[in-house]
Every structure is written in C-alpha cells, then in structure tokens.
C-alpha cells in the first residue's frame, strides 16, 4: 500500500512539472519585449521544474517492472529533457543585457540595496559623446572607481546614475550587485 501511495505521489509530481513546462512553452510562444522582465524568474523556476520532474520520473521508473512501461517512461524523460533544453536556451538568449544568470545572483548580496541613498556628488554625465569620454572617465575613476572605502554596489549605483541616452539604455537591466560593477565598468570601457 505504501508503494502505491509513493507511486501516486510521483505521478502527481510528474504531472505538475509537465503543467509548469507547458506554461513555460506558452510564455515562449507569446514572448514579447514587454514580458522580458519575467525571463530571470522563469529561468530560475525552470531549474526547479526540471529537478522536480527528474525526481518524480526516477521514482516512477524505480517502481515499474513492465519493460514496455519502463521504455515509455524513458521516452517521456527524454522528451521532457528536450523541452527543458529548448526552454533554457530560449530564456538564456532573452536575458536582459548584462544580467547575470540566476544561479550567479546571491540574494544576500542584493538585500537592502534599494535603501542606500547616494550622497550628492558633482559627477560628469556620459551620453556616448566621445569628445567628453576622457574627461568623464578620468573624473569618474578618481572620484568613484578608486574610492577604496566605497562598496562596489554603491559604485555601480553612481555609474548607472551618470549614464545618459543610449548608453543608459544599454545598461538599464544591470542587476545591482557588487559583482556587476566591474563587468559594467569593463563593458563601458570596451564600448563600441
């Protein structure tokens, strides 16, 4: 009786994961730029969906003794894996610019960032005009980049606040984390 209960639970878990995968596929089919703010969350959720399906499917396979049924379960696993890979590729390729993958984001490092109030500094702005680049870069480096007592996440906030126009748009989806500062600054230095 306990085996039947576990088998039933595994079937429900497998069905739930399949329903979640269908929702992900529907998101992909109806994807527009307006929905791009959902990509990071859906990518993180996709990993959970895959792990839940894999665990449930492994249980179902371990209970099955009929070779034909077992072959069918293996086919279902392969089909689901292909859908997972397709969804992961789609979501990864539609991540907002300069945004780290979900498994690289550590929640404890972004906690309370929204509560930081920047001191008013007289910083130059940069709008992609190459005439002002050297002046902007030199002042930003001396005031912000070389400030050893300033956390990188605060440096990033200052950097994003002084970018204007097309340059600002390029970096508008950067996650406010300490790790993002160096990659954003490097991307700005390497700008086309």
pLDDT at 59 over 80: yes
Same domain, 173 and 136: yes
* Structural domain includes residue 59: yes
Looking at the structure, tell me whether residues 151 and 174 fall in a common domain.
Answer: yes
**CA–CA separation, 145 and 185 (whole Å):** 9
Predicted TM-score (pTM) of the model is 0.49
Looking at the structure, tell me whether residues 76 and 132 fall in a common domain: no
* CA pair distance 43, 24, nearest whole angstrom: 9
Residue 25 CA to residue 22 CA, distance in Å, equals 5
Q: Is there a single domain that holds both residue 19 and residue 66?
A: yes
pLDDT of 26 over the 90 cut: yes
My answer on whether 88 and 129 are in the same domain is: no
Same domain, 121 and 184: yes
Averaged confidence pLDDT in the chain: 82
What local confidence, expressed as pLDDT, does residue 86 receive? 93
* Same domain assignment for residues 138 and 174: yes
Q: Could you list the residue range(s) of the whole structural domain that residue 12 is in?
A: 2-95
Q: What is the mean pLDDT of residues 173-189?
A: 87
Domain boundary among 95, 116, 144: 95
With a cut of 80, say whether residue 116 has pLDDT above it: no
What are 72-106's pLDDT values in tens digits?
989 998 999 999 999 988 888 887 654 444 445 45
Residue 7 shares a structural domain with residue 87: yes
Tally of structural domains, the chain:
2
């Amino acid at each position: 009786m306990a085996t039947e209960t576990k088998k039933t639970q595994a079937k429900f878990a497998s069905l739930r994961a399949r329903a979640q995968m269908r929702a992900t596929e529907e998101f992909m089919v109806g994807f527009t730029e307006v929905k791009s703010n959902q990509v990071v969350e859906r990518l993180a959720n996709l990993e959970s969906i895959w792990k839940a399906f894999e665990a449930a499917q492994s249980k179902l396979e371990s209970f099955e003794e009929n070779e034909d049924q077992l072959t069918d379960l293996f086919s279902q696993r392969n089909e689901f894996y292909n859908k997972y890979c397709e969804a992961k590729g789609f979501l990864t390729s539609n991540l907002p610019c300069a945004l780290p993958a979900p498994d690289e984001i550590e929640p404890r490092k972004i906690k309370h960032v929204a509560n930081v109030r920047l001191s008013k500094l007289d910083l130059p702005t940069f709008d992609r005009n190459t005439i002002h680049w050297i002046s902007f870069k030199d002042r930003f480096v001396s005031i912000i980049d070389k400030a050893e007592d300033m956390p990188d996440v605060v440096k990033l906030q200052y950097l994003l606040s002084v970018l204007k126009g097309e340059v600002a748009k390029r970096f508008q989806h950067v996650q406010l984390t300490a790790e993002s500062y160096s990659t954003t600054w490097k991307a700005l230095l390497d700008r086309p």
